[in-house]
Structure formats: C-alpha cells, structure tokens
Chain A
Amino acid sequence: MAQVELNHVMKSFGKTDVIRDVNLEINKGEFVVFVGPSGCGKSTLLRLIAGLETLSSGEIIIADRPVMDLPPSERGIAMVFQSYALYPHMTVYHNMAFSLSLQKMSKAEIKERVEAAAKILQMEHLLDRRPAALSGGQRQRVAIGRAIVRNPDVFLFDEPLSNLDAALRHETRVEIAKLHKQLGATTVYVTHDQVEAMTLADKIVVLKDGQVMQVGAPMELFNRPANEFVASFLGSPKMNFFEGKLGTIAGDTSTAAFAGEGIACDGVRLVSQNKAQGAAAKLGIRPQHLRLDPNGQLSGTITLIERLGTETVVELNNADNTVFRFASPDSPDLELGQTVSFSFDPTLAHLF
C-alpha cells in the first residue's frame, strides 16, 4: 500500500515548468531519496509534498488522503530543513514542544513525547539549551527531534547534511539510517550527494529538469541505468562514454553490438530500445570495469594520476581525444604520458 502517491504532479513558476508530470509511489516504511543536480526540482518536489508550495496541477495523496488543499500541518508530515530552522529564542525543549503545544496537548503528554524523542536522539542533556549554544550536529539532531515528536506519517528531509563538515556528515548519515530502522517511518530525503543517496535509500528517484529519470533500488540504478543521465550521475568517477554506431541488435533487443573509437564489441546491454542498427550510439563503461590488458582494444595516454589510497584514478586521452578514466583498487605501476591499453567485459557495459 502506498503511503505517498504523486499523480501527474506539475508545478510552474510563471512560465517556467519546474516539475513536469511526476508520478511516484512511496510505500510505507520506505526510505526514498530524491537526487539530482542543483536546479532539477528535487527540493521543489519535496516542498510540494510538504505543502509549502501549491501544485499547478496533479494529485498528492498521503496515507490515503488527498492533501492538495490541506495546510502543511494537517498533511501528516514533518520536515527537517537544510538550515535546521530552529527557533532561536526557545530552548531545545520548547523547540520540540512547539508543534505539540499548538495542538493543545496536555503539558504532561508533551513532556513525555519530547523526552522520548530526546532519548532516541541521545540529547536529554541538551533540552535546556538554546540553539545558539549547540554545535552544528546537535542542531541537526534537534531539528530531527522536532520532526520525531510530531509522530508524522512521512518524514521529509531537505538536504539535512549539507551544512555539516565531512566527518560529522558521515556520522549523522549513519545515525539517520539507524533512526530509520528504529522508527520504520516513511521518509523522503532530498540530496545532491550520490553517496548519501546510495547508502541511505531503499529507493532512489533521479530527477533532471523536473522530470523523473529513473526510480529504483540503488544497485539497480547503478547496474542498469535507464538512460545516459542516470548512468553518468551515479558512480564515482563518472562513467566513460565512447561515440560510435550501433551494430546488429539481438533478437530480443536486450543486447547489441557497437563499433566506434577503435572499439568493437557485441553482447552489450542495449538501453535505447528505439534505436535502429547503424544509428549513432554511445558506449558507456564504468572506470572500475576497465582492466589493464596489453592486448585490449581501448588505449589512451595518461594525463593525470590521482592516488586516493583506497583507489587510484587515472585519466587518459584516446586517439579520438576522448577523455576517459580508469579506476583501480590497487595502485598500478603507471606513469604520466605512458600509453596503456584496456579490455572490458561487454556484459558490464551499456549502450545508449
């Protein structure tokens, strides 16, 4: 049963269409991440669900209720903002109790719920402090606590980690993942960071220019990207692309042959199903899937070597002056200016 349902959601600011016909189902207890480059409309989509923006057309259904005409507070959602948005003149306790006291809840019940939430987040000792006396991570936790006490149907997170430093970001990310397991609450999470998306999500929604590019489990998106955008957006370093022509297409159109930039291969997963033989196509292959092979078809001159410790990333230029990368978990004995050749497994490549 879908907890959140978006049907033909459209949003335009003036003449600019920001969200174009988004259809999405989010199941109960699912952790869904909206990911995409900046300006892709992911935050707008979240704010549409929250009710901070009004729909141009379409339907949003939360817990079987159409919520388009409901104010944010009655939609059964709670939101954590990128900037935390804590009330600076209230203590942590009152920040968390604010929504409950507006609901005219009894003092005792408010206390019970705030303390329960504080316990979950291990911040009972912070309740009397003001936001100014908290660190960034603690503020983020208060913002999450403020969402928890409302006991919402859906949690909405708007880039909650982007204001934290790298170490804290990792720590908080782990905490959010644990929290989700503990509470089992339906969560929609917006980020531009693919690591957050890959690690946290049960389901990733990749957005571009207000349109859904692909929806699916993280590894599904990684292994079977639906288009060139998703393929290049997920994964680091980015996928390599080589231009060429489509060769013979297999009978069930699942695989095809490719030739171009000195590469010829067959049995490659065909993504663009509407292309005919001989049409211009792109071969996509992840840097991790290249293998050093003196007899390989793909060769290039090394222009840059980045040794990251866990991984070595090598940037190369091939004969057609296409830049491509090779990533290896070990540290191969390579030098700048050296020409090396690679082979790859065609079943791990994609044809767009």
Chain B
Amino acid sequence: MISRSLRHVVLALIVFIWVVPFVALVTTSLRSETASKTSGFWKAFTPTELGHRFSTHDGDNQDAFVVMTGNIFERLNQGSESFPVTGDVKSIFFKGRVPDPDNPGETILLRKLVPPNEPMEVRDGEFVFDEFGNFTWTFPEASAPQPKNLDVFIDQDPVFGADAFVEVLFQDKNVPNALISSFIVTIPATIIPITIAAFAAYAFAWMSFPGRDWLFVIVVSLMVVPTQLAFLPVLQGFSGIASWATQLNAWLTDCELNDTCQVASKSFAGLWITHTAFGLPLAIYLLRNYIVGLPKELLQSARIDGANHLQIFTKIIVPLSVPALASFSIFQFLWVWNDLIVALYIGPNNAEDLVFPIRLQKQLGTFKDQLHLLNASAVISMIVPVIVFLSMQRYFIRGLLAGSVKGG
C-alpha cells in the first residue's frame, strides 16, 4: 500500500513538473503585454490590484455642466478593444491642497488614497465614486473644467485574450512561414523513413538472405552515431551534389543568361535525407522487433494461401503493425519538428524558409521584451505535436492480434 501511494505521489509530481511550463506558456501568451510584464503567470488567475490612470472626460468636450456622471471602466476601456479592465474600484489616489484644519485660512498638500463613496475635491467640484466605477462630479454652478487625470487602483478581474496569437500569426509572415516550412520538412521526413524502415524490418524479420543477422547488427549499431559527428561529411556531400547540380543546370539550360545556375546546397531535400538517414536505424530496430513478434503461423498461412512477400507485407504485416508504425511516426515527427541543430546546419537559411525552432530562436532576440508574443509563438509550435499525438492515439490499439491465434 505504501509503495503504491508513493508511486502515485511520484507520478503526480512528474505530471506537475511537466504541466507547469505548459500552463505558464499558454497563460502568458493569453495575457496582455502589461500584465505579462508586471506579474508572473501564476497571478493571472486571481484578481490583482493594479493601478490605472484615467481622465474624467475628453479634452474637446467644453460644454458647461453642474453635474457630470461617468464610469471609470468606460473611460479606461475607451478606444481599446482587447483586455478590458473590469473588477472592483478600491481607491483613487488624491493629491491636492485642502484647507488646513490646524491653521484656518492656510492649505496643506494632502496625498491619500480615497476609498469609494468618500467625496473629494477635484477642481473645486465634489467628486464621488463607487466601487463599480460610477462617479459623479458636482459643481456649485455650471462650469467647464479641464479634464483631470486621476490614478485609480482597481482589484482587477483576470482577463485573457488571443491578441498575441493574432499578432504573431497575422502581423507579419515570419510565424506562418515557419509553420509551413516546418510542415514541409517534417511530413516527408516522417513518412520516408517509416516507409523504408517497414520494408527493411519485414526483410530482417521474415526473409532469409545471407548475412542478414550481421547486417541487422550493423544497422542497430548505427544508432550510436551522433548526428553532430556526421555534420561535416554530410554537409560536404550536399555541397558536392549542389555544385554538380549547378554544373548540370548550366549545361542543360540557358541559365547563364540571367545568372540563376546556382543550386543551393542547403535545402529541404537535404533535411529530408538527413533526418531519414538518422531516423532509420531506430525505426528499423523498433519495427523489426515488433514484426518478428507477429505469429509465424500467420505468415505461413499467407504463404500457403499464395501470397508473395510483397502481398504478405502489404496485406498482413502493415495492417497488424499499425501500433508500432504509429508510435514510431510520433517519435520521428516530434524529433524532426523540434530539431534545431540539423535544420541550422543542413536546412535552407533564407528568412522565409526557416523552420519553427530557428524562428523561435530568432524571436528570442527580437521579442525579448514581449514575452506574450514569444510565448504565443512557442504555443503555436507546441500545439502541432500535441494535435499529432492526440490524433495518433487511437492507433495504439491493444489486442490488435486478438482472435488470430490460440488463447486470444
């Protein structure tokens, strides 16, 4: 019992540790710029006392009046559509000269926080406000005073808005471009290796050819080669291909005329090939181990039924390997989607083709004072893998083999 509750505590702790940054990111991205600058995300969910400055009326309004009524919140929210200020008015900061009770005829400078419903003298009129923000400003006789700026402290309700998302997505093309580039890189870099790996895994599991086991050992041992180690040769290879393609281009077309022969050595295709190459060993290993565990009788039965290797693969193995294929595609998708270093070295480096992690890294510089924008970008980049994961989840089917062989 103790070990079980301990396990629950540890699990809860792990969940907490993982969820907090996510909540922080999402919360900050939904707050206003001021709010994200003045307080931490954990204060976003409870009323916070914040100071605001409002003016009693517009300066071009010169009509004389005896009593003016208005609302502090209306004045504050005038002209801005997002993050409206709501809540309870706590006090207004009063600063002005009032008659000195000790020395009649004299005045003193008073600074105090005036609570709601307590009259105070503003520009010779009596100013009263309540906690809902309604105020009345009464003068002995009709007059047209200048607008007065007052500092008000409001116990402000939590307020969220998608403004930061609108800004990063629509204000300029950087984030949309990064999203598109990331998809261009990630989708082929997931599909290509998993297709190759599935074929290879079947061959390693169920076809007999000389040197099969040794070849498999070599493939598996390739997993230990770190990507960074291979950057230089890979880059050299791609630039070699690029210069060769440039020459071919010059030879085949008349590109010399407008000087467009140059073929870029850093391209999306380079990223696909690199991610495929570095994803394959793990993919083959995982899929082979899954496929080799499928009941042998199924394959033998299919052979007796007249299926060749390709038919066994497409009609029996692939449908039954869906859970393994799905889990590896999630792995590969996440790895490629979040990859910064390979994209930095191998991927295209013109501004509109940058993938999301590089864009985020660049935003760290430009948005360092605009946390809400940075976080909105981060949330957008994060939401894609989350959607992929949730939509793939239904393929993790237990008991896919039920009913096939004995026991089931």
Q: Is the CB of B303 within 8 A of A98?
A: no
Q: Is the CB of A83 within 8 A of B295?
A: yes
Q: Is the CB of B301 within 8 A of A102?
A: no
A-B contact count, CB below 8 Å? Answer: 88
How distant is B294 from chain A, measured CB to nearest CB, in Å?
A: 10
Of A52, A82, A84, A88, which contacts B402 at CB under 8 A? A88
Category for how many chain A residues contact B: 20 to 34
Q: Is the CB of B403 within 8 A of A134?
A: yes
Q: Is the CB of B301 within 8 A of A131?
A: no
Q: Is the CB of B403 within 8 A of A139?
A: yes
How distant is B301 from chain A, measured CB to nearest CB, in Å?
A: 4
Q: Is the CB of B297 within 8 A of A87?
A: no
On whether A73 and B306 interact (CB within 8 A), knowing A83-B295, A85-B404, A88-B404, the answer reads yes
Residues of B within 8 A of A222 (CB): none
Q: Is the CB of B303 within 8 A of A88?
A: no
Q: Is the CB of A85 within 8 A of B295?
A: yes
Q: Is the CB of A130 within 8 A of B403?
A: yes
Q: Is the CB of A77 within 8 A of B404?
A: no
Residues of B within 8 A of A77 (CB): 304
Q: Is the CB of B404 within 8 A of A131?
A: yes
How distant is B313 from chain A, measured CB to nearest CB, in Å?
A: 13
A74 to B298, CA, bound (A): 18
Q: Is the CB of A85 within 8 A of B403?
A: no
Residues of B within 8 A of A78 (CB): 304
A245 to B57, CA, bound (A): 132
Q: Is the CB of A85 within 8 A of B306?
A: no
A130 to B401, CA, bound (A): 11
How distant is A128 from chain B, measured CB to nearest CB, in Å?
A: 14
In this complex, the member of A84, A99, A133 whose beta carbon has the largest number of chain B beta carbons within 10 angstroms is: A84
- B307 at interface (Cβ–Cβ under 8 A)? yes
- B311 at interface (Cβ–Cβ under 8 A)? yes
How distant is B96 from chain A, measured CB to nearest CB, in Å?
A: 83
- A314 at interface (Cβ–Cβ under 8 A)? no
How distant is A152 from chain B, measured CB to nearest CB, in Å?
A: 9
Residues of A within 8 A of B300 (CB): 52, 72, 79, 81, 85
- A277 at interface (Cβ–Cβ under 8 A)? no
Q: Is the CB of B316 within 8 A of A87?
A: yes
Residues of B within 8 A of A146 (CB): 301, 305
A81 to B406, CA, bound (A): 10
Contact mask for chain B residues 371-402; partner A; CB cutoff 8 A; 1 contact, 0 none: 00000000000000000000000000001111
Taking A84-B404, A86-B405, A139-B403 as given, write out 9 further A-B residue pairs in contact, using a Cβ cutoff of 8 Å, ordered by the A residue number: A73-B303, A79-B304, A83-B297, A87-B298, A89-B320, A102-B305, A132-B402, A132-B403, A146-B305
20 contacts between A and B (CB under 8 A): A50-B304, A52-B303, A73-B306, A78-B304, A81-B301, A84-B406, A85-B297, A85-B301, A86-B405, A87-B316, A88-B320, A88-B404, A89-B400, A99-B304, A102-B311, A130-B403, A131-B402, A146-B301, A146-B305, A163-B407
